[in-house]
Each structure stands twice: as C-alpha cells, then as structure tokens.
Structure 1
C-alpha cells in the first residue's frame, strides 16, 4: 500500500518543549540498586509523550513495562545521551518513577532534535 503523498510527519517546535528534565550519570553508592545518586550531566526542556508502537517493541525487548518518550533539542557536543544515564522528569505525573535511558534516536532528517525512550526502573 503506497504512502499518501500528502502526508506530512508531525513537526516538533520549540514551543512543544515544555517539561523540564535533568539527566544524571548512573552511579551506585551502595550494594542495593536503589542506593544510586549520580552526577548531574545536563538539564533542558523536553516534549514528553506516550511511546509509539516502535518504542513499545524496544521496551518489550528490554523487559521494561512502563515507558515514556521524550524529545529534546540536540545539544550537539555539550551532552550526548547514552543508555548509561538516568533522567528525572520534573512533572507531578512522573515524580514517583526513576527513568533510565533505553534508546536514543537522533533525528537524521532534522538535526535539531533527539528522540529518547525512557524506561521506568521503579
């Protein structure tokens, strides 16, 4: 089935980045997984939304039950997100969860943004 030639993918704009997020390094201070506190790596605003079907498949492969997708402006070399980082979403709806970076997808068509899939660890 051919794609509709009139289809335009949704565009993320600066006004959509409304939620404050903070990225941390994963470092453990004790033998328990919950005893972790890493160094603050980067702070920015993000667009936060429900994961797509593709994101759900990635989460399923990683064994993560709860997830969220965020889009941030590409910080270039100031910060490079990896799956070794944790994220705090500063929104009351996400305050009870610890989020880890599961997947990072740079937008190759529009180099202004990066899509990051987060999985809940608690």
Structure 2
C-alpha cells in the first residue's frame, strides 16, 4: 500500500525535496492547487498525511481526511490547524519549534546594534541634510 501526502501550500520554489524524501518510502506527494477549504477538503479525502505552511487546515478539512494520521506544519506554531479536531480524530499534529530561531536571533542582534549605535538615525540625517551638516552627539 502506497502512502499519499497532501501539501496544502508552499512559498518556496518547489516541493522536489519533499518528493525525493517521500519517494524513498514509495509515497506520493500531491499539491493542492489552492488553499481554499473546499479544495483542501476534496484533496484530503484519501491522504495519509497533510503538510501545511499557511493554509487553514480546518475542522472540515480534517474530517474529510478519513485516512489521515498526521498533520505537519512547515514552521512554528499550529494556529492554522484545528488541533482539537485532529486530536479527536486520532491524528498527530507536528511542527518545527526551532524553525528560523538562529535567523531571528541574528536579526534581533543586528537591530540592537543599529539602535545602540544610532545607525538608522544618522543615516537619515546624512541623507536629508548632507554629510557636512551632521554634528555628532555621541562618539563613533
């Protein structure tokens, strides 16, 4: 028996990596043409698993997915998945709790350094008033 996995939506160039991984177990990957509830419910009817990014995996979608045993979220959180319904139906719900953690922390550190050194403020002053018109109030 071959498995079937539904991808509700994605924002990257392709799902070839997913296809390659699933091919190793003989599973078929199906991509929904849009993220509407009606479309997802129709495509979910005979799948064993659902992968979602931003699409709403609602009560209706989950109840239509009678064979489904797992719903996986590409990313952090499960706010777009009807977790209570999935639990009631015996479906496992997974997500990636550490997705983008390093990137977010790098970004925060960059913003802190920008704020601390007043880079955006001085950039704006130089652009609006010219290079020579700036009197520095803190040493750089």
Q: TM-score range by the shorter chain?
A: under 0.3
TM-score, structure 1 normalization: 0.24
**Higher-RCO chain (CA-CA 8 Å, sequence separation at least 6):** 1
Structure number having the greater strand percentage: 1
Instruction: Provide the TM-score with structure 2 as the length reference.
Output: 0.22
Give the structure with the larger helix fraction. Answer: 2
